[in-house]
Structure 1
Amino acid sequence: MKILIIEDEIRIGNLLKIYLERESFQVEAVLHGDTGLDRALHEHFDLIVLDVLMPGKDGFTVLEELRKIKTTPTIMLSAKCSEEDVKRGFDLGANDFIAKPFSPGMVVTKIKEILSIPS
């Protein structure tokens, strides 16, 4: 299964990539919302991990534009996790919303749950 990580913090993107590759996922990580949206629209991914706060297109904008064309399951990540932000993410079609800091193992577990993969 193929996962796209759209995360502007290189350290977080790389850490998630390592954890997911250990679980035999194919992973592509990009640093910008514009690039991530382009990849998500033009390639098949089984799930997208999407940071909210990024330069250029933020995660909300990426998800809103993605949902006009695709229903790829999406988990949003954010250091700023107000009730409004969580509600907005779900209203735009996010499958889950995870606050930073987080355990990479927990993110892997959430991905497996969404994709119905036994742990």
Structure 2
Amino acid sequence: MTWSLDARIPVSLVPDAGSLAEALAVGKPAAVLGGEGGVAALNFAAGASPHAVACACCQGHGEAAQALDRLFQARVRGTVPWFDRVLVLDEGGVGEEVRQALAQDKLAVARYRLRLS
């Protein structure tokens, strides 16, 4: 018998604000990237970084990976309520950047998994 347990935090992409509200209304507590609501919310602009190019803390990490990192750090430090999933409002290129982070960024891949549904 084979067991498979993936303890990473599931990330779901939602197409619009209405779908985001519906997803927040059901299921476990969620953090939100690119929108409002949930137990924690964080916005970032696709393709824009608040730090200088190649700064020591972000070198090699895209904006989505940095945003996911900030959410994770807030979760484990207890500065936001505990969340069991992340919902991403897929507007303005945010969804594509999150997909890339979950495919290429080692920290994001270790902490999160893309939920396909």
TM-score by length of 2: 0.34
The structure with the largest alpha-carbon Rg is 2
Higher relative contact order (CA 8 A, sep 6+): 2
Which structure dedicates a bigger proportion of its chain to helix?
1
TM-score by length of 1: 0.34
